Each structure stands twice: as structure tokens, then as C-alpha cells.
Chain A
Amino acid sequence: MKAWITTFLLMSLCVSVAEAYPEFQRYSKKVSGRAVNCAMCHKNSDGPEGIKPGQIGSLNDEELKALGVARQAFNPGNHARNPVLNDFGNAILNQLGKKKLMVIRRYPERLAPALSKASDLDGDGIPDAEEFLDGTHPLNPLNGHPWKLFKHNLAKNRFHLVMIILATGLGMYGLQNMLLFLMVRARKEED
């Protein structure tokens, strides 16, 4: 019995634990000054381990198989879909490959330059690599550096803005004339 328990414990220790990369999380927080959590790259904000949705304990057989494939995606350009990672996490894995990721894990400042400048998964006008440095969520179009979002959205909504300026201006002009008319009529009535 003792031998069985010892073997089981030894085997448990040998099994590789789920690999989150808190180095990147810490770096993003350090350079941005914003609080960041695991949800930047993982499906669940509490990370990959556990039984909540998006965590390893909740995966079905098919997803576990996909997890196994993703863990062997050593080279860039792989199309692995890690079920515990979100789209940004998988984009990092696909662009860099696990081998490179393991290396730059020790130098988290190298992650942003290594990512594609063209990739903007949430379409908010801020590349994912910049969002990583800003400590904002690369998959949430409402979360980004306020000034960068302002510039992007201002350019995107130019037509709407011109229309609202015209509508407000014309409305005010009409109101002005109506008030002046009412004043003149009141004076006439007084006379």
C-alpha cells in the first residue's frame, strides 16, 4: 500500500502543471501601471487551472486533445487552438510558437516587439502588442488607452460627427429664430 502511495505521489510530481505565464502579466502591469489579470490571454480570469469554464478541469475529451496538440506547437505558424487560451493567447502561440515563447518568458519585454504590428483582434485601432504594453485588453474594443481610442474613433466616425454638428447647429439656429420671433410678437402685443 505504502509503495502505491509513494508511486502515486512521485507520478503526481512528475506530471507537468498547467503553464501560465505570469511573467508577461507582471511585465504588462509594471509598464502600464494598470491592474492586469489572466484574462488577457486566458479564457478564465483566474487562469488555466481549476474547474471553472475555460479552465483545464472543465475541458471535454476533444478539448483535452486540442490542449495536447497546442502544447506541442513549438514552431511559429502553427494553427493550434489551445482551449484554455483566448484569441490573443492563441495568436501569441501561433505567431511565436512555444519554443520562442519559452525563451522570451525570461525576457518579457521582448514579447511586444516580437508580435505582429498589424494584428488588432478587437478592431479598436490599437495593435494587440500595444495593448499588451498599455495593460488594456486586446479583445475588448471598449478597453484601450483613452487617447488612442479617441483618435481612432474620431477618424472612424467623421461622417457621424459632421452630421451631428450640422443637426445641432441647424436646430439651435431654428430655436434662435423662434425665440426672436416670440420676443417680437410679445412686444407687438404690448404695443
Chain B
Amino acid sequence: MSEQKSRFGQIMNFFAERFPLQKFSFQHMVNEKVVPVHRMSWAYYMGGLTLLFFMIQLVTGICLLFYYQPTVSDAYASVEHITYFVKNGFLIRNLHAWASSCMILSLMVHMITTFAMKAFGRPREITWISGALLLLLTFGFGFTGYLLPWHQIAVNATKVVLQSIEEAGRYLPGALSTIPTYIKEIIQGEPSVGQATLSRFYALHVVILPLLLIGVVGIHLLMVQLHGMSQGVDQPAKKSEKFFPFFILKDFWLWGGVFLLVFVLALCVPFESFSAYPLFEAFDPMGSTPEGIKPEWYFYFVYYPLEILPFWVVMLGMTVAGIGIFFVPWIFKNTSRKVLSIIAWIATAYLVGITLFGHVIYEIVKGTNT
């Protein structure tokens, strides 16, 4: 009985430490909050930047909703209509495309720097877990949003991903082997990628994922404000600045500058200009599949290994990494910041290398020259 009581007490203590209700006040969370100033201080701005990009996504996404038609017969035409006939439609759509990539980029930088600075340590475990959830949700946004324009690359890339999910069943034992097929059928909604798939992706992209994301962002921000900024470096910072108004003011100026940058990009460089035009023609189920079908750049870290290495190796690696990311605060509990920095650099080198040179590596490994 006493053992049960002590376990209950431990659980209560765990949550009391992670949710310190006594700190739940404007005074503590805003007025008294300070931000350490050191060589890694720039990393404290990455989370705010991700939030800015999410807000751009929310606003531009709502604007696009007024015109987009989620049916296989009209989706492509409605996107064309937005682009060419709606006033500033091109700008809104291009802002949505650019900000989505920027959001994923800043989120990844935020996650890596948080890891390197050991900002996930006690009592910030829930902040880390909510951040990992946000990463998954953001990838979900990318995956579901990719299909909506219903052009060649959208439909064909979605087919490839769904086939990969089904293929995973071949490597699972017994009854487990049927689970990936079920998952694929649930996502797809019909025997092939079609109206049911588009409807499901649309619902996920515009209702379910945004609601989930807003909820998790709320928890994440609450945790950040309750626990304050982590120390970030081994030697305690000699200087610090007040969160309100000085840090937040710098944050807002950075938001202004970054917004301008993204705005200029959206106004001047169509996001689609980086890819071959046949990929953006209307999807034709009876027509030929254009070459160069690939997922968006932020999935290259899975895509190219899948092209190069045996399927089971990549799936095993990604599953371990996917689950492991939620247990980082406990796995690396006693690891020094120096070691964490080395791991972060290796992860960065891998992500940058495979994203920029994945195609070259693929050609070298396969011995082709396409």
C-alpha cells in the first residue's frame, strides 16, 4: 500500500515539476522571464520563426480555401483559376508554398539546435515531446497538402508513398503484416488514389491537422513560458536580457525582416519554377507518367535512402528514429552538450547532404547518368 502511495507520489511530483502551477502567472511567464545571452542565443529565435511561418500558412491557407475545389474534376482547374484569374491569387498561393518549406526548414533547425543545447533536459521533457509531435504534424501538412493541386507530381508522388506504406507489410511477421495495407486503405479510401483520397487529404489538411497543431503549439508555448529559456551552454551565461519587451521586440523585428524576405521570394520566384513543367500538368490517369516524380525536398532524407538502400533497412532506421525522437530526454539524459553537438552536426550533415546531393549520390550508387 505504502509502495503504491510512493509511486503515486512520484507520478504527482513528476507532473508538478513539469506543470508548475505556482508559476502560471503573467508576472512570471512574461515580466520576470529572462533570456540568456551567449554564442548560441540566435537559436532562441528559431521557434518564433516557425510560429511566424505557421501563421503565414494559416492566413494564406484560409484565403486559398475560398476558391479551392476539393474534387478530382475541379481541383486542378480551381488552382489554375487562383493562380491566373484571382487578384493576387498567385502571390497568396506562392506565399503558401514558400512559407511551407520555410516552416519545415526552421522547425528542423529549431529541433537540432534544441538538441545540441540540451534544452530537452529536466523539467522540459514535455516541451521536447510536444515539439517532436509538431514536427510530425508539419510533415503531415506537407504530405496532405502536396496532393491537393491534383497535378501529375501530386498524384503520382502520393501513389509512390502509399505503395511504400503497403510494402512495409512484407517485412512484418504474421498478422502484423496486414497493418500497413489497412493503413494505406484508410488513407487512400478507395482502390486507387482518387476522390476519396483527395477528400480525406483535404479534411486532414484544412481541419484536423490545423486543430491538432494549434492545440500542441499551445501546450508547447505554455511549457516554454512556464519553464523559461534553457541555459543552452555549459558555462552559465554572463549576460541576460528581459524577455519582455527586449527579446520579444528583437523577435518581432526578425519576423518583419523574414516576412519581407519570404514576400519578395513569393512575389518574384514561383515555387514551381524549380521543377520541370510536365510535373505540373493536370493529372491524366490515361496519359503517360512524366519523369522526375519525387516528393517535396523535405522528404528527400527518406526518399533517397529508399531509392538506394534495401527497403527494410530504411524502414527500420526510420522507425527507430521516429520512435526514438520522443524518448530523447531520457536516452540522452546524461550525455554532455559536447557529444550532443557532435550528433547534431552529423544529423545536419546528413540532412543537408542528402537533400542537396541525394540525386548525385543516387546516380553514383546506381551507376546511371540520367
> Interface on A for B, CB 8 Å cutoff?
34-37, 39-40, 45-46, 52, 135-137, 140, 142-146, 149-150, 153-154, 157, 160-161, 164-165, 168-169, 171-172, 175-176, 179-180, 182-183, 186
CB-CB nearest in chain B for A47: B288
Task: Beyond A35-B278, A165-B260, list 11 extra A-B contacts (CB 8 Å).
Answer: A35-B292, A37-B290, A52-B287, A142-B90, A145-B273, A149-B270, A153-B269, A154-B268, A172-B252, A180-B245, A182-B245
Number of A-B contacts (CB under 8 A): 85
Instruction: Establish whether residues B277 and A175, one from each chain, have CB atoms under 8 Å apart when the complex forms.
Output: no
Instruction: Establish whether residues A179 and B267, one from each chain, have CB atoms under 8 Å apart when the complex forms.
Output: no
Q: Which of A36, A140, A143, A144 is the most central at the interface, judged by chain B CB atoms within 10 Å of its CB?
A: A143
Q: Give the residues in chain A near B273, CB-CB below 8 Å.
A: 136, 142-146, 149
Interface size on B (CB < 8 Å)?
32
Instruction: Establish whether residues B272 and A168, one from each chain, have CB atoms under 8 Å apart when the complex forms.
Output: no
Instruction: Establish whether residues A143 and B249, one from each chain, have CB atoms under 8 Å apart when the complex forms.
Output: no
Q: Give the residues in chain B near A137, CB-CB below 8 Å.
A: 277
Q: B253 near A: Cβ within 8 Å? A: yes
CB distance from B261 to the nearest CB of A (A): 11
Q: Which of B234-254 contact A (CB under 8 A)?
A: 244-245, 248-249, 252-253
Q: B19 near A: Cβ within 8 Å? A: no
Instruction: Establish whether residues B267 and A36, one from each chain, have CB atoms under 8 Å apart when the complex forms.
Output: no
State the majority secondary structure of interface residues on A. helix
Instruction: Establish whether residues B264 and A143, one from each chain, have CB atoms under 8 Å apart when the complex forms.
Output: no
CB distance from B285 to the nearest CB of A (A): 12
Q: Given A36, A52, A160, A182, which contacts B276 in the complex, CB threshold below 8 Å?
A: A36
CA distance A168 to B3 in the complex (A): 61
Q: Give the residues in chain A near B279, CB-CB below 8 Å.
A: 35
CA distance A45 to B278 in the complex (A): 8
Q: 19 A-B Cβ contacts within 8 A?
A: A35-B279, A35-B290, A35-B291, A36-B278, A40-B277, A46-B287, A142-B272, A143-B273, A143-B277, A144-B270, A145-B273, A146-B274, A149-B270, A153-B268, A164-B260, A168-B256, A172-B253, A176-B252, A179-B249
Instruction: Establish whether residues B244 and A45, one from each chain, have CB atoms under 8 Å apart when the complex forms.
Output: no
CA distance A135 to B83 in the complex (A): 22
CB distance from A27 to the nearest CB of B (A): 15
Q: Give the residues in chain B near A175, CB-CB below 8 Å.
A: 252
